[in-house]
Structure formats: C-alpha cells, structure tokens
Amino acid sequence: MKKLLWAAVILLLLGLCSCSAAKKPAPPENRTIIVPEVSRVTFDSADLKTAPKAVRDIAKLLENQDSTSWAQVGDKAYFIVSSGERSRGYDITFDEIQQRLPEENFVWIDARLKYKKRAEPRKAGEPFYTLVRADIAKAPNGVGFTITGADISSPAPAVNTPPVKTAPAPLPSTQGSQSGAVLEQPTANQEITSPLKIKGTVKSTGQKRVRLSTRGGQIIKEEELSTESGGSFTTSLSYSSPEMATPGELALIEIVGKEEKTLARVPVVIK
C-alpha cells in the first residue's frame, strides 16, 4: 500500500514539472532588417524664387551654363539643372531620383534627367533652371546625374557635379579681359589653405566681393572688397577647411544694383 502511495506522489511531481517546462516562454526570435540597396526618393518641383538663399546663390553661379548641382538645406535636398547654349533646345525634367547603398554607411543619390527636344529653342542668354526638392533627411555622400533623351548627334549637355573622392582634371583660369579685372593670387589650380591671401587688379569702381566656392556651386566664404578707386588690391579670406581636398574656384564679383557680374575666376583646390 505504501509503495503504491509513493508511486502516485512521484507521478504527480513529474506531471507538475512537465507542465512548468511547457509554460516557459520561447526565446526571442532574432530578426535581420534588410535595407534595400536601391530605393526611390520622393520629390516635387520647386520655385527658384522661393528657394533658400543657398540654392539661389548656386543657381546664380550656374547661370546660362549647361550644368547641374545640388544642395542640402535642413531635411531637404535641392537638385538644380541649368540650361546653357547646348541644352536650350530641350525641355529638361527629373524622371526619377534613386538612393543607392553601394557599401555600408555610404549613400549615393542618382538623379535621372530626361531631355526632350523642343519645337523651338529658348532665346539665347535667357537663364532657365529646372529645380526639384526631395525629402532627404541627411546629406548623401555623393550625387550623380544620369541623362537620357539627349540627341547623341549633337554635343551632350555638360554635367558638373560635386566629386565624392576623386578630383577632376585641372581647369584653366578665366580672367575678365573685357572688364580689366585680373586675379593674380592664387594662381590657377593652386592648393590653398586658410587664411587665403588674394591679390588682383580691377579697373572699374563700385561694390565688389570675392567669393570662394566649391566647383559644384556651394559657397564656402565671401567678403566685400573695397575698390573705390580701382587699381591693385590685396585682401585675405579666412574659412573653415573641408575634411578633404575639394576642387573649387575663387571669383571676383561686381555688384550692380541687384545684379551680380563675374569679372574673373580662378580654379583652386581647397584645403
């Protein structure tokens, strides 16, 4: 009788232990979140007149040139296409903007442009821009522009985009022979550091400024220049050095009313 009683107690304990084991929660499942290598970015058309000042300044630098650029302002990215002599016979639209992740922690934006032949070209010298605004919270590591629809029998529109890691070939300096303005220092394609010493000559009087910008159009620093009587001038420009050497240009600008005129420019490597 006692043996039967002990056997019943043992079976009851084993049953309770098995129930407790069954009620233990399963370990959490490890999930891997996969970020797509290519995704579309939403964008809409923007009016240059109401765009941020930085965007308007870039557009001014690209005026009447076949060129492209972009700027990050807050959580918005602005993509600009300027029409010059070779593309004034086209309507230019943004067909698609893609975000690519070629490697970890590196974001590349591919802006795809569509060129459509116009019935009649725009008037020569008439500034024209195509501007869109995209929802990109953080500035990408690089931006490229892909062109489709351009007539391959004629020269394709030139594309100038901010370089990511490689520097473009040196460019010749552009001095204002008609305006009589010359930038003597720095010299063309010189590597510059802050503070930058600037020397030059101007013939005209009036309000002027010197502007240091990247080749993509981002203004790094600009200051007013006193040339009331014309002639030679010397000044210096202090700026925050970029993390890596960046192709850029130094420009001598004349202010007439609300208009700006580039008197001379010199390509430089900003350090």
Answer for the pair 132, 48: CB distance below 8 angstroms, yes or no. Answer: no
* Mean pLDDT over each residue of the chain, to the nearest integer: 77
For the segment 133-149, the average pLDDT, to the nearest whole number, is 85
Q: What is the model's pLDDT at position 168? A: 42
Structural domains of the chain, ranges and CATH numbers in brackets: 38-148 (no CATH), 182-270 (2.60.40.4070)
Answer for the pair 247, 214: CB distance below 8 angstroms, yes or no. Answer: yes
Token code pair at residue 233: 């001038």
Distances (CA, A) of 67 to 72, 114, 150, 211, 268: 18, 14, 14, 19, 19
| Segment 163-177, tens digit of pLDDT | 443 334 444 455 544
Confidence band (pLDDT; 50, 70, 90) for 25? low
Confidence band (pLDDT; 50, 70, 90) for 154? very low
Q: What is the model's pLDDT at position 82? A: 87
Q: What is the model's pLDDT at position 78? A: 93
- Which residues lie below 8 Å from residue 221, measured CB to CB, with a gap of 6+? 211, 212, 237, 238, 239, 240
